[in-house]
């Protein structure tokens, strides 16, 4: 197969930032993706309906003329979140989900949740009104090894939470372990999981062997090869509980390459080429449309996009740029470590 037409895909986990960075990276997503769940971890974070409305307006104002893209807004869950404001924003069609960051888990997560018991009333309201909870599933206690944080979170936070609120609609985002895959596959109730482009293509050896590669550093951090293989099997399985959330997260090169570099991989530009490569390797090109274009909308109660995109496999490698320029500085594009031959035409 050298040509593949899909319904236009959506991205169910995306960082657009703000200001000059937003203006630079938004077209990279909107070129291929019709919709995206927008992460709320700005500084200050998007915590109220008014915050979400203002951020949505800034995104739409930055969208280049002629591009068709719908931002799906989220609220940043804090221990001071007002359940009524949240419910009103959801009822108005403004907010698609709420994001749980354990405090200190990743970029701009300092305002996140330290004690899950303190957001019980908000989570109960979400379960009542059917508002999905998107979770960064890692504990942040210092005694837990960084490579074990996802599994410990599932055992000590997620499973007890879902036991208390079985009707809560949960998406475990950017799964990185076989433990996360197994949990989402086998758990009872309303749960799904997103998988990123880069975690399908790299493991921790790519980041660490032969020298540290800061542009592969992300949170949750890439795990060992056996976990990567579990992610690839899940993504290409046709199981509707698993769908694409790129977690494309731009940082300027100085912020990535510093003594204490930021976590995040920017993959918006070449994600569809990367995914076609992975699905072809797994003998599952027929499953790509479900993963990118069908299962996510079904999860969030939206119709699949009517428009389509076509991928074509070329005889020569696609010349993606190494970096994109932004008003804040250069941002390095995810490098899968080998040539890509599939391209959106």
What CATH code would you report for 3-344? Answer: 3.20.20.140
Per-residue pLDDT tens over the stretch 125-166: 999 999 999 999 999 999 999 999 999 999 999 999 999 999
Q: Is the pLDDT of residue 104 over 90?
A: no
* Mean pLDDT to the nearest integer, 214-241: 98
Q: Is the pLDDT of residue 111 over 90?
A: no
Q: Minimal CA–CA distance to 56: which of 20, 22, 100, 106?
A: 22
Per-residue pLDDT tens over the stretch 269-323: 999 999 999 999 999 999 999 999 999 999 999 999 999 999 999 999 999 999 9
Query: Which pLDDT score, from 0 to 100, does residue 91 have?
Result: 98
For the chain, percent of residues with pLDDT exceeding 70: 100
- Rounded Cα distance, 149 and 101, in Å: 13
pTM (predicted TM-score): 0.97
Query: Which pLDDT score, from 0 to 100, does residue 319 have?
Result: 97
- φ/ψ region of 305 (left if φ > 0, alpha if ψ in -120 to 50, else beta) reads beta
- Rounded Cα distance, 331 and 251, in Å: 6
Task: Provide the mean pLDDT of the chain.
Answer: 97
| CB of 280 closer than 8 Å to CB of 48 | no
Q: Which residue has the tokens 């530009």?
A: 269
DSSP β-bridge partners for residue 73: 95
Instruction: Confirm whether 247 is a catalytic residue.
Output: yes
* Mean pLDDT to the nearest integer, 204-212: 97
Q: Pick the catalytic residue from 247, 253, 286, 335.
A: 247
What residue spans define the domains of the chain?
3-344
**Residue count of the chain:** 345
């Amino acid at each position: 197969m050298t040509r593949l037409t899909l319904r236009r895909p959506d991205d169910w986990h995306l960082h657009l930032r703000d200001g000059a960075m937003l203006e630079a990276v938004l077209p990279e997503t909107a070129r291929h993706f019709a919709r995206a769940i927008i992460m709320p971890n700005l500084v200050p974070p998007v915590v109220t309906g008014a915050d979400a409305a203002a951020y949505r307006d800034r995104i739409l104002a930055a969208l280049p003329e002629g591009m068709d893209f719908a931002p799906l807004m989220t609220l940043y869950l804090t221990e001071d979140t007002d359940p009524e404001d949240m419910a009103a924003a959801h009822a108005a069609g403004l907010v698609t989900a709420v994001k749980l960051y354990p405090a200190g888990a990743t970029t701009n997560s300092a305002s996140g949740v330290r004690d899950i018991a303190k957001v019980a009333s908000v989570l109960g309201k979400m379960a009542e009104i059917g508002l999905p909870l998107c979770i960064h599933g890692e504990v942040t206690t210092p005694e837990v090894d960084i490579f074990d944080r996802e599994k410990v979170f599932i055992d000590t936070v997620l499973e007890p939470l879902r036991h208390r609120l079985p009707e809560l609609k949960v998406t475990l985002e950017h799964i990185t372990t076989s433990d996360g895959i197994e949990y989402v596959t086998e758990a009872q109730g309303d749960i799904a999981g997103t998988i990123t482009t880069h975690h399908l293509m790299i493991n921790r050896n790519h980041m660490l062997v032969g020298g540290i590669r800061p542009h592969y550093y992300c949170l949750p951090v890439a795990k060992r090869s056996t976990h990567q293989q579990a992610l690839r099997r899940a993504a290409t399985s046709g199981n509707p509980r698993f769908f694409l959330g790129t977690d494309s997260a731009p940082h300027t090169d100085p912020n990535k390459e510093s003594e204490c570099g930021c976590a995040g991989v920017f993959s918006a530009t070449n994600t569809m080429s990367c995914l076609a490569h992975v699905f072809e390797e797994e003998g599952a090109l027929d499953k790509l449309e479900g993963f990118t274009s069908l299962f996510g909308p079904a999860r969030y109660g939206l119709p699949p996009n009517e428009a389509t995109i076509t991928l074509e496999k070329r005889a020569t490698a696609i010349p993606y740029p190494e970096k994109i320029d932004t008003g804040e500085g250069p941002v390095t594009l995810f490098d899968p470590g080998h040539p890509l031959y599939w391209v959106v035409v």
